Amino acid sequence: MPATHPSAVVESDSIGAGASIGEFAVIRAGAAIGDGVTVHPHVVIEPGVEIGAGTEVLPGAYLGRRPRAVGAIIREPTYRETVQIGGGCSIGVNAVIYYDVEIGEDTLVGDGASIREETKIGEGCVVGRYVAVDRDVQIGDGTKINFACSLVSKARLGKGVFLAQHVTTTNDNALGRQGWNDEQVAGPTIEDEAMIGSNATLLPGVTIGRAAVVGAGSVVTKDVAAGVTVVGVPARPL
């Protein structure tokens, strides 16, 4: 039987054995909570969210946020009303996970991280504190993304990639002037085992080859070949 605090609102009938649900948590009908999951106080879990066995969801996290097209947002969001979080994960304090996100087993999502729709994150990853993952991003197994990185829409990261803190990615050389144009917008591709130093900026559409290194503070304007180290503004091979 789950241990549910009396102040929690649990509408779902799919709560696994040994799950624990803290004060003022809300679990909507249609959410599925696996065995041994810990849902801390003030977590909100929307319908269609599935959480694998043993995962811990820390206080204030919001799982199943619906993207909204209001204000100056020009693109109508498209998304499935599901979230899948594998077993053994840790979802940080006040993390926000939108609908249409898949996260593999044993992945850590840090405090305050935000992950938007149409995004897939592999197993054994770290998405660090205050990392912002935009819509339509793919992150391979074992990839580590440190504090406050920004992954733009259409970024593609392979396996075992390392992003130091404050790495910024971009996808639009028109800087929004031409609205959203799928043909024109291109995120970076970062191949397996590449390493990106702190505060580097990757310009739209660049490919960082397998096991390449980008020095701290570099601005990458062109593709970087596999195994090559680049530094500076603009980044050049060392």
Residues 115 and 96 sit within 8 Å (Cβ to Cβ): yes
Q: Considering only residues 108 through 167, tell me which ones interact with ligand COA, judged by CB under 6 A.
A: 164
What string of DSSP letters covers 49-64? EEE-TT-EE-TT-EEE
Pattern of binders to ligand COA over 9-48, x per CB under 6 A? ----------------------------------------
Q: How far apart are CA 39 and CA 37, in angstroms?
A: 6
Q: Which residues contact 17 (CB under 8 A, 6 or more apart)?
A: 1, 2, 35, 36
238 binds ligand COA per the rule CB under 6 A: yes
Which residue in the shown chain puts its C-beta closest to ligand COA? 215
Minimum separation from the CB atom of position 165 to ligand COA (A): 7
Residues 213 and 200 sit within 8 Å (Cβ to Cβ): no
Q: How far apart are CA 80 and CA 123, in angstroms?
A: 21
Window of 54-62, 65-73, 179-187, 209-217 that interacts with ligand COA by CB under 6 A: 209-217
Q: Which is nearer to ligand COA, 5 or 144 (CB)?
A: 144
Minimum separation from the CB atom of position 110 to ligand COA (A): 16
**Rounded to whole angstroms, what are the CA distances from 50 to 34, 57, 127, 226?**
8, 12, 19, 38
Q: Which is nearer to ligand COA, 58 or 145 (CB)?
A: 145
229 binds ligand COA per the rule CB under 6 A: yes
- Residues forming the site for ligand COA (CB under 6 A): 164, 197-198, 213, 215-218, 229, 231-232, 238
